[in-house]
A and B are shown apart, each in its own frame.
Chain A
Amino acid sequence: DGGITQSPKYLFRKEGQNVTLSCEQNLNHDAMYWYRQDPGQGLRLIYYSQIVNDFQKGDIAEGYSVSREKKESFPLTVTSAQKNPTAFYLCASSITGSRAGELFFGEGSRLTVL
């Protein structure tokens, strides 16, 4: 079955540590995205990538980094520079073009900073 796999589902981090969240898709989608969700707020875009070896900052990219070396993979690193990293992180993919807003989401990764 095609889909998006995120790991780990739950992650605890000490302050000052970098962590990397994995996102893999086998939907053959060109576009991939990382969103952050906080209670009572809408999903906010961290980074996006429309093609391999290219990615762009979203609305809240500070303290995060990504890579897109393969079409299937779009890992997100939460660095120690991110001041409030505790959140629910969602990876998504889509086709490009007019229906690019039809996002397919992974199950999410919940990061807690201790």
Chain B
Amino acid sequence: GQNIDQPTEMTATEGAIVQINCTYQTSGFNGLFWYQQHAGEAPTFLSYNVLDGLEEKGRFSSFLSRSKGYSYLLLKELQMKDSASYLCAATTMFSGGYNKLIFGAGTRLAVHP
């Protein structure tokens, strides 16, 4: 089957570092995406990993291990505005060769002063 697992909730302190883990099982895996979603709003794209290793983009980094079916999103220097849900999504293939995203349920991060 196809499955994405990530923790339901996390809390952290302003200025700290937090790591959100994601494990996945999909057929025809092509890459791993992370999205940020503030309450009541649409998700916005954060990162994309297709090869093993770390991708750094400012305060956010994302890591992928294809052999382990594992990814994490690392948020540094946390700010209050980082309080949001973080969605892990893995690609699989539609019939016809198109990519399809399987989403996890999201990790709700609360940043406290």
Which A residues fall within an 8 A CB radius of B?
A: 31, 35, 40-45, 48, 50, 56, 90, 96-108
Contact = CB atoms under 8 A, between A and B. Distances in A.
A56 B87 contact: no
Contacts of B43: 43, 90, 103, 105
Contacts of B99: 97-98, 100-101
B96 A50 contact: yes
Nearest to B103: A42
Given A31-B98, A42-B87, A56-B94, A99 B48 contact: yes
Contacts, number: 62
B103 A101 contact: no
A85 to B, nearest CB: 19
Nearest to B96: A50
A56 B42 CA distance: 23
13 contacts: A42-B105, A42-B106, A45-B100, A48-B94, A50-B98, A98-B31, A98-B99, A100-B98, A101-B30, A101-B48, A101-B101, A102-B48, A108-B42
A50 B103 CA distance: 19
